């Protein structure tokens, strides 16, 4: 691979008009524009470093033994060597090496790249090194032909955040390898465990992991306790605990209840919602989604959850029951909330879990807004406050997609008369 600074020169040139600018005196829209330009330039440097790291990795192959470049420098592998040079953790070195290997020709076929879509995205500055590493790790863990999936994820990453890309990678990986999902869940179940230790000051530390099914049960219960405590605080009760403290207290309440089954736990109940497509259920092949965890689950896991009375399995099809309540009801009912959860998948704006959300009237009730599905949207508490405080507009189009319209004073391009529209809900997470 040829070393060149041409891309660096091209991508840093737009920064030069800001030379000598007083950052504190820049208008907000110019400051954000500068941040975006700096990010493009920074990513160009990362790609350049990755190309160098790829060559370091090529000279540090395990089969080279003590003659490998990394071993000669006193490191076990190229990731550690690169991390030591760039001054970051091993993860930074691993991401640079991963991206560098992607851009290098495949040793078994010199005229081909291992991941052409990712390599092209890196060279065109449409992907960051972190995004490229995430996509590569996702597709390399899957079986079969993953070229189309890789291309979809690269296109998705070009206009979404890293967090949303990570969610899309989890979802798409589960759908791609639905047949393999049960085996993975079984291995995750076997790997479950909880370590309890005590430090020198008597503080007990917990560290462990559970599979998605047990995780759904645990998270649903914990989230219900946090939501109930914060709701009580909004209703006037005193609540000084943080969310993490509430979860800790809930866990202790469970243990106390187990020691004395005649005592009550917190008294807060919750229902786990699991969804499955009717056709997939009939075909015995597919994946289900669970509101409590981000990763889809297998049909076997769905059946395991569904035997419990606290689990609500919802079979989805193309028909829908009329749930609109007009202005006869002030609040959206539970069945309407479930329908909105299917469309929004959580907070329609930031994609926080469903259990963190309230149901918001798009046209406010106080201005004669109706309690209808087309006038409802799920928002977490933070986004709900932001929508009201900053006067965001929300629309639901003919395809049942939710759109957030940027307030004029927050729009990055205030010269544009058509305000920026941001796609929300589950539709924003699609990679197609």
Instruction: Quick: pLDDT tens for 62-105.
Output: 888 888 999 999 998 999 999 999 998 888 999 999 999 988 87
* Residue 283, pLDDT score: 67
Worst-scoring range by mean pLDDT, 4-18, 165-179, 294-308, 321-335?
321-335
* Residue 324, pLDDT score: 41
Rounded Cα distance, 44 and 34, in Å: 16
Is 185's pLDDT higher than 90?
no
380: which strand partners?
Answer: 357
Q: Which of 250, 263, 205 is nearest to 223 (CA)?
A: 250
Is 416's pLDDT higher than 70?
no
pLDDT in tens, 272-285: 777 777 777 666 66
> Can you tell me the mean pLDDT for 205-226?
87
CB 47 within 8 A of CB 123: yes
The helix (H) or strand (E) run that includes residue 169 is helix 162-176
Q: What is the pTM of this model?
A: 0.60
pLDDT in tens, 295-349: 788 877 776 665 554 566 666 654 433 334 444 455 777 778 888 888 888 899 9
* Residue 317, pLDDT score: 59
**408 band by pLDDT with thresholds 50, 70 and 90:** confident
CB 55 within 8 A of CB 100: yes
Helices (H) and strands (E) in the chain, counts: 16, 13
Task: Give 396-405's long-range contacts (Cβ < 8 A, gap of 24+).
Answer: 396/362, 399/427, 400/343, 401/425, 401/427, 402/343, 402/344, 402/348, 402/377, 402/427, 404/348, 404/349
Residues ≥6 apart with Cβ < 8 Å to 102: 54, 113, 114, 115, 118, 119, 122, 132, 136
pLDDT in tens, 381-400: 788 878 877 788 999 988 88
> Can you tell me the mean pLDDT for 13-38?
92
The DSSP code sequence of 348-359 is: TTT---GGGEEE
Q: Please tell me which of 65-74, 194-203, 350-359 the model is most confident about, judged by mean pLDDT.
A: 65-74
Is 24's pLDDT higher than 60?
yes
* Residue 328, pLDDT score: 45
CB 116 within 8 A of CB 106: no
Residue 375 is given by DSSP the state: G
User: What is the pairing mode between strands 272-277 and 311-316?
Assistant: parallel
CB 186 within 8 A of CB 215: no
Rounded Cα distance, 405 and 391, in Å: 9
* Residue 156, pLDDT score: 92
**216 band by pLDDT with thresholds 50, 70 and 90:** confident
Report which of residues 292 and 77 the model is more confident about.
Answer: 77
> Can you tell me the mean pLDDT for 135-146?
87
Is 113's pLDDT higher than 80?
no
* Residue 321, pLDDT score: 38
**235 band by pLDDT with thresholds 50, 70 and 90:** confident
> Can you tell me the mean pLDDT for 229-238?
79
Residue 123: phi and psi, rounded to 5, are: -65, -30
* CA dist 171 → 149, 188, 385 (Å): 11, 17, 29
Rounded Cα distance, 211 and 221, in Å: 16
113: which strand partners?
Answer: 105
Locate the domains of the chain by residue range.
10-18+26-177, 178-235+267-319, 334-429
Residues ≥6 apart with Cβ < 8 Å to 205: 195, 196, 197, 198, 199
Is 191's pLDDT higher than 70?
yes
> Can you tell me the mean pLDDT for 141-154?
88
* Residue 380, pLDDT score: 85
């Amino acid at each position: 691979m040829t070393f060149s600074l041409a891309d660096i020169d091209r991508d840093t040139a737009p920064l030069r008009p800001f030379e000598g600018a007083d950052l504190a005196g820049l208008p907000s829209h110019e400051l954000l524009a500068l941040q975006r330009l700096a990010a493009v330039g920074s990513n160009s440097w990362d790609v350049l470093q990755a190309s160098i790291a790829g060559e370091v990795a090529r000279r540090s192959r395990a089969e080279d033994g003590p003659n490998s470049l990394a071993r000669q420098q006193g490191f076990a592998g190229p990731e550690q060597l690169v991390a030591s040079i760039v001054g970051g953790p091993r993860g930074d070195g691993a991401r640079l090496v991963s991206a560098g290997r992607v851009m290098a020709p495949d040793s078994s076929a010199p005229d081909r790249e291992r991941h052409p879509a990712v390599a092209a995205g890196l060279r065109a500055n449409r992907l960051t090194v972190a995004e490229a590493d995430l996509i590569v790790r996702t597709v390399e863990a899957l079986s079969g032909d993953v070229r189309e999936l890789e291309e979809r994820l690269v296109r998705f990453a070009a206009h979404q955040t890293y967090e949303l890309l990570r969610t899309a990678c989890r979802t798409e990986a589960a759908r791609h390898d639905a047949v393999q999902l049960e085996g993975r869940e079984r291995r995750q179940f076997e790997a479950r465990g909880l370590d309890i230790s005590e430090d020198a000051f008597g503080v007990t530390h917990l560290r462990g992991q559970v599979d998605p099914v047990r995780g759904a049960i645990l998270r649903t219960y914990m989230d219900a306790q946090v939501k109930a405590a914060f709701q009580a605080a909004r209703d006037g009760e005193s609540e000084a605990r943080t969310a993490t403290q509430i979860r800790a207290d809930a866990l202790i309440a469970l243990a106390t209840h187990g020691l004395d089954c005649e005592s009550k736990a917190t008294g807060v109940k919750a229902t786990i919602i699991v969804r499955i497509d009717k056709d997939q259920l009939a075909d015995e092949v597919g994946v289900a989604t669970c509101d409590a965890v981000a990763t889809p689950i297998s049909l076997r896991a769905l059946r395991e959850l569904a035997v419990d009375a606290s689990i609500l399995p919802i079979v989805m099809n193309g028909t829908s029951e009329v749930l609109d309540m007009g202005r006869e009801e002030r609040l959206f009912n539970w069945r309407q909330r479930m329908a909105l959860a299917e469309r929004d998948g959580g907070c329609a704006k930031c994609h926080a879990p469903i259990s963190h959300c309230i149901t918001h009237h798009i046209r406010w009730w106080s201005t004669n807004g109706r309690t209808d599905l087309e006038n409802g949207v799920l928002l977490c508490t933070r986004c709900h406050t932001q929508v009201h405080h900053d006067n965001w507009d929300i629309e639901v189009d003919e395809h049942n997609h939710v759109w957030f319209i940027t307030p004029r004073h927050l729009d990055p391009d205030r010269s544009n008369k058509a305000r920026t529209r941001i796609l929300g809900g589950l539709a924003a997470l699609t990679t197609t």
